Each structure stands twice: as structure tokens, then as C-alpha cells.
Amino acid sequence: MSTLTEHDLQSILFDVMVKRVDENKRQLMYLFYIIHRYKQLKTHTDQSIVPRFHFIGGKTGIGNIRSKMIVKLINIVAQKLNADGETNTKLRIIFIPNYNASKEHIVVPAADFN
């Protein structure tokens, strides 16, 4: 992974989606949006794209297999995007496991978008 300078960190937007993971809670659509942004970064070498780090957090229901598969997909896509040396200073996915109220007090005030 590329290291980020302090100047880089000041220009990054922190986009946060935190809620219970469910198939009808938009996490999957949000993931498709992130993939779309990744494809744009790969095809356009325009440097004017604003860097954006996406934080996704939540818990799944105990027996909700589809929600668990969404979390697994988020982590697979995150591994791919975060390992790409061309784009990982402009786009990253950070999954926050076992999201709860104590983590919310840290994450939400730091968000540029929520």
C-alpha cells in the first residue's frame, strides 16, 4: 500500500455508512457505487478526482445468511481495492466489524458524509 502524507490525509473525504447489515438496507447498492468509482479511477487518469475513503460498519442478524454474505462481499471487494497501488490513495474501503454505540461515538464525528 502507498503511504499517505499529512497533506493527502487533509484532502480525503470520509464517507461513512453504518447501520445493521441487511439486504434491504442499501449496503449492497453502496458497494456497487464504490465499485463504479473504482472503475472510473482505473479508466480515467484525471487527477482531479477527490480521494474518498468509505467506512462501512454494522452487524448482521444471527440467522441472516444473506447479510453475512454481503459482509463477506464487502471484505472481498475491500481487499481488492485496498491492494491496488494505482488507486489506494484515492479510494479505500474500511469495514468496521461489530459496530456498536461506543464505536459510533468515534466514527460519526469524523465523517464528512454519513
Domain locations in the chain?
Answer: 6-110
Give 7's pLDDT tier (boundaries 50, 70, 90). Answer: low
Beta carbons within 8 Å of 92's beta carbon, 6+ residues apart: 53, 54, 78, 81, 82
Q: Which residues pair with 94 in a beta bridge?
A: 55
Q: In what order do the strands lie in the sheet with 13-18?
A: 13-18, 52-57, 91-96
pLDDT(73) > 70: yes
Report pTM: 0.83
Write phi, then psi, for 13 (nearest 5 degrees). -90, 135
pLDDT in tens, 31-58: 999 999 999 888 887 667 888 999 998 8
